[in-house]
Chain A
Amino acid sequence: MARRYDSRTTIFSPEGRLYQIEYAMEAISHAGTVLGVLAKDGVVLAAEKKVTGKLLDLSGEGGYGGSGEKIFLLNSNVIGGVAGLTSDANSLVNYARTAAQQHLLSYNEDIPVELLAQRLCDMKQGYTQYGGLRPFGVSLLYAGYDPHYQFQLYHSDPSGNYSGWKATCIGANNGTAQSLLKQEYKDDILVKDAIALVLKVMSKTMDSTTLGSEKLEFAVLTLDESTKQPKAKIYKPSEIDALLRAEGLAKTDGDTEMKSA
Chain B
Amino acid sequence: METSFALTGKGYVIVAADTTAARSIVKMKVDEDKIKEISPHLLMAYSGEPGDTVQFAEFVERNIRLYQIRNLYPLRPSAAASWIRRSLADSLRSRSPYSVNLLVGGYDTATHEPKLYWIDYLGTQVDVPFGAHGYGSYFALSLLDRYHDPEASLEEGLATLKRCVDEVAKRLVVSPGRYKVKVVDKDGVREVEI
Contact = CB atoms under 8 A, between A and B. Distances in A.
B181 to A, nearest CB: 29
A115 B82 contact: no
> What range describes how many residues of A lie at the interface?
10 to 19
B26 interface: no
B83 interface: yes
A107 B79 contact: yes
Contact of A148 (B73, B78, B86): B73
B92 to A, nearest CB: 16
B110 A148 contact: yes
A107 B110 CA distance: 16
A109 B71 contact: no
A106 B75 CA distance: 12
A97 B78 CA distance: 22
Contacts of B82: 106-109
Interface residues of B, number: 12
Contacts of B76: 109, 147
Nearest to A149: B73
Nearest to A110: B79
Contacts, number: 24
A130 B73 CA distance: 31
B123 to A, nearest CB: 13
B111 interface: yes
Nearest to B125: A108
A106 B110 contact: no
Contact of B71 (A105, A106, A112, A147): A112
Interface string B72-95: 010110111011001000000000
Given A112-B71, A115-B71, A147 B110 contact: yes
Contacts of A108: 78-79, 82
Interface in A74-108: 105-108
A109 B79 contact: yes
A109 B75 CA distance: 10
B78 A109 contact: yes
A147 B113 CA distance: 13
A110 to B, nearest CB: 10
Given A107-B83, A109-B82, A147 B75 contact: no
Contacts of A148: 73, 110
A109 B111 CA distance: 14
Nearest to A105: B86
A63 to B, nearest CB: 31
Nearest to A112: B71
B78 A147 contact: no
Contacts of A106: 82-83, 86
Contacts of B79: 107-109
Give the one of A107, A114, A115 with max B CB within 10 A. A107
A220 B83 CA distance: 31
Nearest to B74: A148
Contacts of A115: 71
Contacts of B110: 147-148
Interface of B: 71, 73, 75-76, 78-80, 82-83, 86, 110-111
10 contacts: A106-B82, A106-B86, A107-B82, A107-B83, A108-B78, A109-B79, A109-B82, A114-B71, A115-B71, A147-B110
3 interchain residue pairs of minimum CB distance: A108-B82, A147-B110, A107-B79
Interface of A: 105-109, 112, 114-115, 147-148
